[in-house]
C-alpha cells in the first residue's frame, strides 16, 4: 500500500469518526434535555428507547442537510424497522389488506365462532399525523381483535407533510362509512356495534370524526356506537396546562413536539411553534370560553399534585391566528366543540397516562362529556407515558405496563 492510499484511508476513518462524534454529541445534548420521572414504569428502558428515537431523528436531520434524503422519510423508515415486527398471523385470527373507498385498510377477523354478528372497531394509528402506518399499528390491532373477539379495521390514512388537514380526517371518514355500509353483508359485523378509536393523533381523528358524523348523518348509516380515545391530542388552544408543564421533557413526546405536529398537520410552517406554545394565537373574544373549558380548576386534584405555574401572559397576534385558525376548529381541536355537538358524542373510553403532556386534554374532555350527559369509561395509567401501547409484544422493547393499558381497551370493547 503506497502512502497516498494510506492517507486516504486515514482521512476517511477520521471523517467517519468525526461524523459519529457529531451524532453522539447531538444525541447526548438532546438526552440531557429530557427527564424520566421516578414514577415512570421501566424508566431505564424508556431512556434507551428515547435515545434510539433521538439518534434516528438526528441522523435524519444530518442526511437531509447533506441532500441525501428527507428527515421525515428516513425517520418513518427507521422507526418502522425498530418497532414493527410483522410476525406470522396467530391461530384464531385472519388478517387481510384491502381498500375501502380507495383508502388502504387492514382487516383483522377472529375465526372463532361467536353465534351471531360480531362487534367492530375502526382504528386510526397515532404518529402526529406524519408518522405511523398499518404496520406500526399491527400488533395493537391484533391484540384487540384476538383478545376482544372483535373485527378490527386499521386505516392507513394519508400523512403530512405530503397531505394536509383535512385529508387525514377525510380518509378516516371514507373508510369508516364504507365499513359501516358493508359490515354485515361482507364481514358478519353488526353495523350498530361498530366503534371508532385511535391513539394520540389517531385519537384526535376518532373524536373529530364522531363529531363530524353526529352533525352530518343522513340516516342511511348508523353512527359509531362508541369512541375509544387512547391518550388523544384534543386541542390546540392551550399548551400550558399542568400536564404540559409537568411533563414538558418526558419522553416520548415533548411539549414542543406537540405544536410541531399540529403545525405540520395544518400548514407545515413549523417556524410558528414558539408563538403557538405561548398562546398568542387565541383571539381575545374566544379566551373566556376556552378558559372555561380548559381551566385547571376542572382537573382532579391529583393532576395538580406535581405543581403548576399558571399560564404565561399572552398578547393576541391576529396575523398568527389567521395563519393557523383551522387549528381552533373542532375538527382539529374536538375539545373546543360547542355544547350541542358534545352532547351528540357516543359513549366514550378514555385512556390517559400520568407522565404525558396530553394527559389533561383527555381529562378535560372527560369532564365536558360527563357534563353533557355522555357515558365515559376512564382508565388512568399512573406510571404510564405517551406512546405506551406501541410497546406491546415488541420483544426486548416490550413494556409490561403497555399490556395492562391495552387490556383496559379490550375490556371496554368487549362490553359494546
Hey, which residues are catalytic here?
Answer: 200, 356, 386
Residue 124, strand partner residues: 155, 198
- Other CB atoms within 10 Å distance of the CB of residue 199: 30
User: Would you say the C-alpha torsion 48, 54, 58, 59 has a positive or negative sign?
Assistant: positive
DSSP β-ladder status, 103-110 and 118-124: unpaired
Beta-sheet strand order (sheet of 151-155): 93-100, 103-110, 151-155, 118-124, 189-199, 227-230, 348-355, 376-385
Contact at 8 Å (CB) between 282 and 328?
A: yes
Please name which of 231, 207, 245, 235 lies closest in space to residue 384, comparing C-alpha atoms: 231
Please name which of 126, 143, 39 lies closest in space to residue 387, comparing C-alpha atoms: 126
C-alpha cell at 211: 363529531
Contact at 8 Å (CB) between 373 and 345?
A: no
| Residues 132/133/137/139 CA torsion (nearest 10 deg) | -120
Residue written as grid cell 402526529: 128
Instruction: Give, in order, the Cα–Cα distances in Å from 80 to each of 16, 133, 205, 242, 254.
Output: 26, 8, 21, 32, 21
Helices (H), 188-249: 201-216, 242-246
CA distance 44 to 354: 17
Residue written as grid cell 425498530: 82
C-alpha cell at 143: 391484540
* Coil vs helix vs strand at 332: coil
Amino acid at each position: 500500500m503506497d502512502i497516498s492510499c494510506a492517507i486516504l484511508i486515514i482521512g476517511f476513518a477520521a471523517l467517519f469518526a468525526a461524523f459519529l462524534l457529531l451524532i453522539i454529541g447531538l444525541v447526548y445534548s438532546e438526552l440531557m434535555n429530557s427527564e424520566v420521572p421516578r414514577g415512570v414504569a421501566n424508566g431505564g428502558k424508556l431512556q434507551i428507547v428515547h435515545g434510539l428515537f433521538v439518534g434516528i431523528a438526528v441522523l435524519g436531520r444530518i442526511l437531509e442537510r447533506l441532500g441525501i434524503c428527507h428527515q421525515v422519510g428516513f425517520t418513518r423508515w427507521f422507526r418502522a424497522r425498530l418497532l414493527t415486527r410483522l410476525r406470522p398471523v396467530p391461530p384464531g385470527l385472519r388478517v387481510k389488506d384491502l381498500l375501502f373507498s380507495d383508502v388502504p385498510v387492514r382487516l383483522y377477523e377472529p375465526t372463532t365462532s361467536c353465534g351471531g354478528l360480531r362487534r367492530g372497531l375502526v382504528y386510526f394509528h397515532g404518529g402526529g399525523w406524519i408518522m405511523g402506518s398499518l404496520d406500526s399499528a399491527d400488533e395493537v390491532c391484533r391484540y384487540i381483535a384476538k383478545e376482544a373477539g372483535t373485527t378490527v379495521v386499521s386505516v392507513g390514512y394519508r400523512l403530512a407533510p405530503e397531505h394536509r388537514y383535512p385529508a387525514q380526517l377525510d380518509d378516516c371518514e371514507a373508510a369508516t362509512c364504507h365499513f359501516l355500509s358493508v359490515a354485515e353483508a361482507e364481514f358478519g359485523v353488526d353495523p350498530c356495534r361498530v366503534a371508532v378509536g385511535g391513539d394520540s393523533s389517531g385519537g384526535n381523528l376518532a373524536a373529530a370524526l364522531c363529531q363530524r358524523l353526529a352533525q352530518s348523518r343522513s340516516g342511511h348509516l348508523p353512527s359509531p356506537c362508541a369512541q375509544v380515545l387512547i391518550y388523544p391530542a384534543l386541542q390546540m388552544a392551550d399548551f400550558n396546562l399542568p400536564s404540559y408543564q409537568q411533563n414538558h421533557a418526558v419522553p416520548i413526546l415533548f411539549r414542543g413536539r406537540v405544536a410541531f405536529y399540529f403545525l405540520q398537520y395544518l400548514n407545515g410552517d413549523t417556524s410558528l411553534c414558539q408563538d403557538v406554545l405561548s398562546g398568542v394565537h387565541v383571539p381575545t373574544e374566544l379566551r373566556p370560553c376556552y378558559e372555561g373549558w380548559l381551566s385547571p380548576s376542572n382537573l382532579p386534584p391529583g393532576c395538580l399534585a406535581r405543581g403548576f405555574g399558571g399560564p404565561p401572559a399572552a398578547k393576541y397576534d391576529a396575523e398568527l391566528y389567521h395563519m393557523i385558525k383551522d387549528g381552533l376548529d373542532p375538527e382539529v381541536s374536538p375539545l373546543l366543540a360547542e355544547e350541542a355537538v358534545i352532547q351528540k358524542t357516543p359513549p366514550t373510553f378514555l385512556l390517559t397516562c400520568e407522565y404525558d403532556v396530553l394527559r389533561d386534554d383527555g381529562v378535560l374532555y372527560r369532564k365536558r362529556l360527563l357534563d353533557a350527559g355522555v357515558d365515559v369509561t376512564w382508565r388512568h395509567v399512573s406510571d404510564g407515558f405517551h406512546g405506551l401501547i406501541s410497546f406491546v409484544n415488541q420483544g426486548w422493547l416490550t413494556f409490561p405496563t403497555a399490556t395492562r393499558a391495552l387490556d383496559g381497551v379490550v375490556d371496554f370493547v368487549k362490553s359494546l
